[in-house]
Each structure stands twice: as structure tokens, then as C-alpha cells.
Structure 1
């Protein structure tokens, strides 16, 4: 019984024995239990005397050479790339410097031209005012009449206007109301279809023209048969446009019972408290209205035609 138990125990211990241990024991049993081929002392002596593997040393040496070559190659390539980058950066810097200098010159040249344009605009404005004044002076003897029916023929215009002016100036003789020419004007596109064409006439003498315009300032000056007639001075388009710019000022002056009249070149002569105030521009007229307290009157917007100045954004370092 004891023998069978010991056999089972031995089989169990053999089952849990590692395979490597079993192989060693099997080799030892086949060797006949002799001594190992080399004792520990002999192995130690042999390891000290035997040289290292020459193939390994050659491989390590070759790898070291390859790493050195790779490092040298990378260093050379990086130096070349860095040199090229520095060259490109230097070239870009020089080009940027030239561009900055050129743009600064362009800005200065533009500002100089802008100043010259403003000066030329002022001179042109003065010239146009003088030209408009000359044109208005050439029309000083003219009158424009609106509302004469088309039934009045061209041959009847002289007698028709002479009768109208004599009704305004009873003391004027026909010789004083002499016409150099009289004719109808083309109808402007903005005029109503049924509206008669305007009539333009030139008086031979200047004083009757002024007397006629002065008499028309009275609302009841025209007789009933002529109440559909309107008489205007003949002015250039430039002067008419300039007077339109003063329209809001003249409306406020009329609402405040303040007298005014037009001057040449276009200016507004305002009579207030026995003093004549001259407004050459719309801005001056607006300022006078604000100083007199004629309501809350904001200045009219004016178009800005002055060229814009340029500020150089690049500065040479």
C-alpha cells in the first residue's frame, strides 16, 4: 500500500516539474552521472581569455561610420538650406524696403497733387463765377416772359409786349420801350405739354428793363388781362443753379419778413435793422440765420470734392 502511495506522489511531483528541469535531468542521466564538461573555474578562465565576436565589432564599427556619415550629410544639407533661406529673406527684405520707399514716394506725390487740385478747383470756381457774371452782363437787357398764349403770333408779340409794359409804366413812351429783338424759345422737356412757349426779348435801353422789374414787385401791378403773365430776368444756367442753392435761406428770410436782393456775381444782400449783410456762400447765409435765431436751421449738406490725403503706412527703418 505504501508503495502505491509513493508512486502516486512521485507521479504528481513529476507532473508539476518544469519542462526545462526535466530536460536537464534527462541529459544528466544519459551522461552517466559524470562531471560537467567544464567546471565553473574553467568557464571563467575561458571567458576571460576568449576574444569578443569579431563580426559584432565590425558591425558596430560600420554602424558608427554610417551614423557619422549621416550626421555629416544632414549637417551639410541643413547648412545649405539655412544659407538659401537667409539669402531669400535678405532678398525679400531688400524688395520690401524698395516697395516701402516707393509707396512713401507715391503717397507724397499724391498729397502734392491733391493740394494742387484743390488750388486749381478754387481758381476754376473763381473763373466760372467771372464767366457767369460776364454771361449775365451780356443778358442784362433781356427779359423772359412766361404765359403768353400761343394764339399770339410772332408778328403780334411786339405790340402785345408793348401794351403790357405800358400798363406797368404809364409814363413810358413807345420809343423808350423799343425792342431790339423778340422771339419764342423752345419748350424745355420738363414743361407741361399744354404750356405755351416762353418769349425772350431784348430792350434797347437798360433803364426801362429795371423799371419794369421794379414795378412787378408790387403784387397788383399787372392788370387782370395780364395776370397770367410772369416776367423774369434772363440769367445764365450757372447763376440760376447758384440761386437755387440759396433757396432754403430765402424762404426763411421771407417767413421772417426780412428783405433781400441778389447781387452779381451771385451773392445775397440781406437788409436787417438798417444794415446790409452780404452772404457770398450758402455757408455764410446759414451762419447769419443761426446768429439771428431764425429757427433751428441745420446747414445744408455740401458735396465734398476735395481729394483724400494719403498717410504712408510704410516707414523705412
Structure 2
């Protein structure tokens, strides 16, 4: 058991601690700390404001110094843009005039080309092309040879050899042995004799000559030949249709007669449209 003196000491110690806690100045310390923190924050705030003000002033001065050069540069570019705009306007005007001139020149060129082609074909109207004559048979005198050949091929259709101004092979390299012979271009002195030869050639289904076959065509220009050849596809279609009569007209038009109706077409596309409307698309 603890002695009475020990209990008295413990009691006295406890009372002393209680008195110490009651007499400790805690509120005064807290208030002092808050006051210090407030002063520190105020000072820090003032420093930050001063730094921000200095930075703003410095930035404002830099902006003020930078604006005039930028304005000068913008004015320069504005002037250049105005010059470019004026230049583009002038170019546009010149381009419009150039397009008009081009279209006029194009129309004139096409007109002159048609005239030139027409003149060329009129100059060839006395000519015929004869295909299938073996090389070397003319023996240096093609004009006399072709006159005799035509009389031989058409027999009784010609009372005498036709009068030829000239005859010659097409201007092309001589083919190798066994190759396709070059065609003959024959120029008749009389247009009527040339037409008679064409008529006799159409009447005969086959022109036999020395184990071969001759083909006779008008001597058209390359451009006109191309335009007339473009009708070959529709000619094949019309050939299969019953009751249809057709033929090519000069220079490159097709005449079709069907069920008492005759029409003339200027292009293969127009003929295809007629075929589709009359016979349907399944020919």
C-alpha cells in the first residue's frame, strides 16, 4: 500500500500541473502567429503586384516598339496585294480577249481545213485507186499498163482502153517479196470514163485478174477516207436488216431508204439513233 506521504506528493504534483495548464497563454501566441502570417502575405502580395506591374510596363513598351514596324510591313504587303490584284485583273482581261481570238482562229482554221480538204478531193475526182495489182507487172510504163489492164478486166464494157493522163504506184516503200502490193493511183483524162469504170466495178461482184482479185475505190484524201470509214460499223448493222437500202453520199453522209421513207444522216451517231428507233437496240 502506498504511504500517506507518497499520496500527498502525487496530489501536489497533479494540482501543480492543473495550475500550469490553466495559467498557459495559448490565445496570445495564436494571435501573434496570425498577425505574422497576415503581414507576410501582405508583403508577398505587394511584391507580386510590383513584379506584375513591372512586367506589364515592360511588355507594353515592347508592344509599342513592335507595332510601327508591323504597320509598315502591313502597308507594304497591302500595296503589293493591290498591285497583284491589278495585275490579275489585267491578265483576266487579256485572257478573255485571247480566248475570243483563239475561238475565232479555231473557227477560221476549221473552215480553211474543210476548204483545203474539199479542194484536195476535187483535184482527185478524176482519180481511182486500184488494189491487188502484183508488183513489177507495169515494166516501167504504168500508164499504158493500167489502160490495158482495165480493158482486160472489164471486157466488153469498154470498147477501147480508157484515156489516162497518168498512173503510178502509191508513194510508199516497195514491199518485200510476197508482201501486199502497193495500190495504183490512176488519173483519167475524161471524167465520164472514170465514172464508167466505177459503175462497171459496182456491177461486177468480183474483179478477177491473174489468179487474184482487184478492188477499185475512189481516190479520196486521208481525212475524208477516215470520215467515210467511220460509217463501216453502221453499214454492217444495216446490211442485216431486211428492206433497208443505204449508201454513202459525197463527201461523208449516209442515205437510208426504209418503207418508202428516205433520210440523210451526217454522222454515224445519227445513223445509230435511227437504227435504235426503228429496229431497237438488239440488232
- Specify the TM-score bucket, using the shorter chain as the normaliser: 0.5 to 0.7
| Aligned counterpart, 1:3 | 5
Q: Specify the alignment match of 2:230 in structure 1.
A: 245
Kindly provide the CA deviation profile for residues 96-125 of structure 1, in whole angstroms up to 9, marking residues without a partner as x.
455455445544543443343333323222
Partners of 2:157 and 2:200 within 8 A in 1:
no
Q: CA RMSD in A?
A: 4.3
Q: Report if the CA contact (8 A) 1:260-1:271 is conserved.
A: no
Which residue of 91, 114, 122 corresponds with 1:137? 122
Aligned mates of 1:135, 1:67 — CA distance in 2: 94
Name the counterpart of 1:230. Answer: 215
Give the 3-state SS of the residue equivalent to 1:216 in structure 2: helix
User: What do the CA deviations read for 1:149-187 (whole angstroms, capped 9, x no partner)?
Assistant: 225243475345524345426253336x02222222344
2:187 corresponds to which of 202, 206, 210: 202
Q: Which residue of 1 aligns with 2:156?
A: 170
Is 81-90 or 139-148 further displaced after alignment?
81-90
The offset of 1:279, in angstroms, is 2.9
Which residue of structure 2 aligns with residue 261 of structure 1? 248
For residues 8 and 173 of structure 2, the distance between their equivalents in structure 1, rounded to whole angstroms, comes to 142
1:287–1:100 distance in 2 versus 1, CA, 3 Å? farther
Choose between structure 1 and 2: higher helix proportion. 2
Structure 1 portions without partners, runs of 5+? 25-58, 298-317
Q: 1:76 aligns with which of 47, 53, 61?
A: 61
* Structure 1 Cα separation of the partners of residues 231 and 16 of structure 2: 127
| Contact 2:175–2:181 under 8 Å retained in 1 | no
C-alpha separation in 1, matches of 2:228 and 2:176: 20
How far off its partner does 1:140 sit?
1.4
Quote the residue 1:308 is aligned against: none
Kept after mapping to 2: 8 A contact 1:141/1:206: yes
Size of the alignment, in residue pairs? 257
Q: Which has the higher contact order (CA 8 A, sep 6+)?
A: 1
